[in-house]
Structure 1
């Protein structure tokens, strides 16, 4: 099948949509299919990577306008250039606003929901209202809807009465490490199993300020709090977090990590922290689970759907809960080990790219 993906930022970006397109497209190539990926960029360019055609589409810088504009442009380019496409897959509702045009020309379309964009704190009240209204419109105008999170499936079925299929995101299970990478930990000033890890975008809905306050209040000794990630769109917020952590040398900002650095931080962390107020389905969480890390997470529906009973849960934004969770993790290692083992099995059984690719292909064959 020839499958067109539309939406998301740069092909190698760290976000959930980008990871989905990158990994799924590579698995589709392995199975003899022909994926084409259209993504946002600051320039127009077409490249080929490992059998995947990647089309970079220049869009405006506006948070509100970029995705719809790229969606329109990519839809028209597909109609003209990819007449033999079997399906057009729109990532999230903004680019899918134009899916009706593709269907007029006889293309099958799929809308995949990755989260509730209107819940993000970066938008004004007016922008959130507009986003919510546009979500409603696209929910009714798209013919085939899938979602990465079970919460989104229930939401679309309840609020829009739209049949929605759950096809999650996924990760690759870690392989055995051959080389000694203690130099990576040394570079960050860390010791094996002596640090808690946050990995993700430093945005307000992640509640990293609460994480910093809680770690400082917990009173645990001999451990570091590693915060891996950045936010180029909101450097003032990142600076505020750094100022909040100033004076505590055990709180370390290491920026974005990739490849060997990311793998090493995951492999040797003591526990993983996800204090978010909202999530779709966190890839960083799945990665941490696959590495057998105990997890401190907020008790939001998206997290509980994956972790079930195998996490130390806290209320979103509650510094006291987080402080107590840090202390509990240090004091009860046996309970953490059991949770971690169950999390590894959960990922192996439900959240690997091989499993999800098969689910995805079966779905496409059914529409």
Structure 2
């Protein structure tokens, strides 16, 4: 079987551990099953027009050089994010006839493509010429069908998968709390994600501030994530004020992050848009219930009692759900049967088996 060239505009590095970590995890899991892959990825998260131009030019050269060196061995490209990653796969197919699979993660369809103009035109070309499209959530798949006229037969709904050997229920939540310096006598809320407006961080902190004023000795909030916009992060820290109960923590290796998921009483994901919300599944796999915005893939994931959904951009709705948990001694009831069903569906082993089957359809 020929090799797969993985193209992604997000990939982690030693300096930026969480940047596209889900792509790296999938690549490593594929390699464990015998799928040989080559990487042509961008590991630089810098923003700003000049930085973006520089890093994408460097990335483009890497894609081209990797392909040229390994042209005879490559049977398929798999790009993560329709634009810009998919543009490389599209051009390689047009010039060399190399088939490609593209994974849409959410922001590429619900944010980038909606800017219109050339980005939407490129997005349409990439989707129309893809041999197979993977959407990480049901709503995202529906958006691609409706907005770009892609037939259902070319789309698979498939998350990036959760590694349940890393994300699992602890023997003792209280002991895990102590390991990460959480106070077992408090209700500990956890957020994991980039510190950006679209993740609902402002509403999260506003809601927690209200909770903190009412229950100052009973609650804590841990925000684990990268700073992509320094000005926004500083503003969020100012919003948090002098509260000793709000903790901003830099990204960390996955095994350490899993301990935070295991320790928290509740995981919170108040995003404005979300293709799926893989971190919510990781929390659930660690036995931690989820409160999240009723958007995108989260709408499907947390229905039927698998978690609690709140309207996006609604700090008061978040506060009300937070308060319920505090008044219930840090406990939140969920539909365990539905959670187990979700975890089985999104287990990385099952996902990799499906992805391998897709690869084999197109690699000659």
Confirm whether residue 40 of structure 1 aligns to residue 42 of structure 2: yes
Work out the CA distance in 2 between the residues paired with 1:41 and 1:234: 17
Q: How far off is 1:152 after superposition?
A: 1.6
TM-score (norm 1): 0.82
Residue aligning to 2:189: 196
Work out the CA distance in 1 between the residues paired with 2:242 and 2:330: 33
Residue in structure 1 matching 2:134, options 139, 146, 150: 146
Residue in structure 2 matching 1:318, options 296, 314, 318: 314
| Cα deviation 1:49-73 (Å, max 9, x = unaligned) | xxxxxxxxxxx95447755873575
Residue 332 of structure 2 aligns to a residue whose secondary structure is helix
Q: How far off is 1:329 after superposition?
A: 2.0
Work out the CA distance in 2 between the residues paired with 1:64 and 1:259: 30
**1:325 to 1:128, Cα distance in 2 relative to 1, 3 A:** farther
Would you say the 8 A contact 1:277–1:317 is kept in 2? yes
**1:182 to 1:142, Cα distance in 2 relative to 1, 3 A:** closer
**1:23 to 1:255, Cα distance in 2 relative to 1, 3 A:** closer
Question: What pairs with 1:37-116 in structure 2 (closer than 5 Å)?
Answer: 37-41=39-43, 62-63=51-52, 66-67=55-56, 70-71=59-60, 73-75=62-64, 77-93=66-82, 94-103=84-93, 104-116=95-107
Residue 252 of structure 2 aligns to a residue whose secondary structure is coil
Q: How far off is 1:136 after superposition?
A: 2.5
**1:134 to 1:101, Cα distance in 2 relative to 1, 3 A:** closer
Residue aligning to 1:215: 208
Q: How far off is 1:283 after superposition?
A: 2.2
Residue aligning to 2:10: 9
Root-mean-square deviation over aligned CA pairs: 3.0
5+ residue gaps, structure 1, are 43-59
**1:131 to 1:343, Cα distance in 2 relative to 1, 3 A:** farther
Would you say the 8 A contact 1:7–1:67 is kept in 2? no
Would you say the 8 A contact 1:70–1:95 is kept in 2? no
| Cα deviation 1:284-338 (Å, max 9, x = unaligned) | 1111011111111111132022222222211111111111111122234798243
Would you say the 8 A contact 1:229–1:256 is kept in 2? yes
| Cα deviation 1:179-212 (Å, max 9, x = unaligned) | 96666433xx533763000011101101111111
Would you say the 8 A contact 1:230–1:238 is kept in 2? no
How many residue pairs are counted as aligned between the two chains?
342
Residue in structure 1 matching 2:25, options 23, 26, 30: 23
Residue 362 of structure 1 aligns to a residue whose secondary structure is helix
Would you say the 8 A contact 2:187–2:329 is kept in 1? no
Residue 247 of structure 1 aligns to a residue whose secondary structure is coil
Residue in structure 2 matching 1:330, options 326, 332, 355: 326
Deviates more, 1:135-144 or 1:241-250: 135-144
Deviates more, 1:142-151 or 1:293-302: 142-151
Work out the CA distance in 1 between the residues paired with 2:220 and 2:307: 20
Would you say the 8 A contact 1:226–1:254 is kept in 2? yes
Work out the CA distance in 1 between the residues paired with 2:171 and 2:22: 28
Would you say the 8 A contact 1:23–1:353 is kept in 2? no
